[in-house]
Amino acid sequence: MKYDFTYYNPTRVHFGKDALDKLEGELNRYGKGVLLLYGKGSIKKIGLYDRVREILSRAKKNVTELSGIKPNPSYSQVLEGARLVRENNIDLILAVGGGSVIDCAKAISASAFCESDPWQKYWVDFRPLDNEVVPIGAVLTMAGTGSEMNGGSVITNESTMIKEGRVFSAELYPAFSILNPEFTYSVPKMQMVSGIFDVMSHLCEQYFSGDDENTSDYLIEAVMKLLILSARAAINNPLDYEARSNIMWCATVALNNLVGLSKTQDWQVHGIEHQLGAYTDCPHGLGLAVISIPYYRYIYKYGLKKFVRFATNVWGASATGKTDEQIALEGIKALESFSDELGIPKSLRELGAKEEMLPKIAYSVEEGGGYKKLSHEEMLNILKACY
């Protein structure tokens, strides 16, 4: 392990078919005021809303609701939630839904008692969190983002057309998260595969960053292989509990900071996709999938050794009679074939992007990258390649 690190994760995870039974005990740790945060109503269709409300009632909580959280949560929703926190003496924000709902909960918690403009302070200037926050609990219904066990919060400011991620300190990690894989059964197939590729992308962003001979890379490879195996099983049978439970835990492990320890990391694919999402509101994982293949084909020569390792250790490519470049490209092709196998769209056009958007997207992304720092022009070329 090349770089020193301190690892701490305060989130208590309850995992399994009976995980929701732990909610009442968790609620009893907090005061009466609860802000219940959820999306556009899918939790009502599967009966989870009624079950959560019943538990809140038994725990004698005063519940304020904020529904309709978008798949790409907006800053206006964050400000509305912050107002509700202040006006209703909220002691706990309970996010029931996917990663976007949990991201929004973190943003609301950080913003409610911020004395200046939260967007400028936390998502633009990346200032340290220094105001009072409200504890967060999560009941997860979609596997993908890993937000249930980290401090990340990706928010779209609709007035500036900027989608930005912020990683907060441990104060904004969910205090507890409830993960029942059965809650993901009702997620439509395209949302499921979007979440699966989101997990794969989180792993790739940490993996393709040098520092080859360390524990983290071996952990990443193992999680990648299990994710691929489980994704194929879930596509074949969406009610395969073992497959869905493996996917859910892979998603959590992929972004709870464990597998990224002592890694420099990349995150340029995410940076580009965030801006794509700001302009198109497309599903995050689908955008990542479309951007990843041209991006990796552009940078692989700068990290050739790692791309060869990816091809052989993750996808089982044979090195016999091949150059390193041929092996590396075989691994990228395998990743592309996996995306096709999931049924993910192959172009930005299919995700709602317009050609005139591409320069706006490229020039609103910060120049960066892992093996190679990309200029805005290079990012634009990559966007054109996947348009």
**CATH classification of 12-183, choosing from 3.30.70.270, 3.40.50.300, 3.40.50.1970, 1.10.510.10?**
3.40.50.1970
Q: Provide the 8-state DSSP code for 123.
A: I
**CA nearest to 328, candidates 361, 360, 349, 303:** 303
Sequence spans of domains, the chain: 12-183, 189-385
pLDDT at 279: 94
Predicted local distance difference test score (pLDDT) of residue 1: 81
Instruction: Identify the band that residue 357 occupies on the pLDDT scale cut at 50, 70 and 90.
Output: very high
pLDDT tens across 193-228, in order?
999 999 999 999 999 987 667 899 999 999 999 999
**pLDDT of 361 higher than 90:** yes
Q: What residues pair up with 295 in beta bridges, in sequence order?
A: none
* pLDDT, position 272: 96
How high is the pLDDT of residue 278?
93
Average pLDDT, rounded, for the chain: 96
Specify the pLDDT at position 195: 97
Q: Is the pLDDT of residue 100 over 80?
A: yes
- Please provide the DSSP assignment of 177-246 as one string: EEE-GGGGTTS-HHHHHHHHHHHHHHHHHHHSSS--SSHHHHHHHHHHHHHHHHHHHHHH-TT-HHHHHH
Positive or negative: CA dihedral 282, 236, 250, 37? positive
Provide the whole-model pTM: 0.96
Neighbouring-strand partners of residue 96: 38, 139
Q: What is the pLDDT of residues 304-329, one digit of tens each?
A: 999 999 999 999 999 999 999 999 99
Q: Which of the four pLDDT bands, split at 50, 70 and 90, describes residue 13?
A: very high
Q: Which of 300, 291, 271, 289 is nearest to 371 (CA)?
A: 300
Q: May I ask the CATH architecture of the domain 189-385?
A: Up-down Bundle (1.20)
Asked whether 290 and 345 are in contact (CB, 8 A), the reply is: yes
Confidence check: pLDDT of 3 > 90: no
For residue 201, the model assigns a pLDDT of 98
Label residue 62 by pLDDT band (50, 70, 90).
very high
Pick from 43, 172, 34, 205: nearest CA to 103? 172
| Model confidence pLDDT, tens digit, residues 105-160 | 999 999 999 999 999 999 999 999 999 999 999 999 999 999 999 999 999 999 99
Three-state DSSP class for 97?
strand
- What is the pLDDT confidence band of residue 85, given thresholds at 50, 70 and 90? very high
Cross-strand pairs, 322: none
pLDDT of the residue at 210: 76
| Predicted pLDDT of residue 41 | 84
Question: Element (H or E) spanning 78, and its range?
Answer: helix 75-87
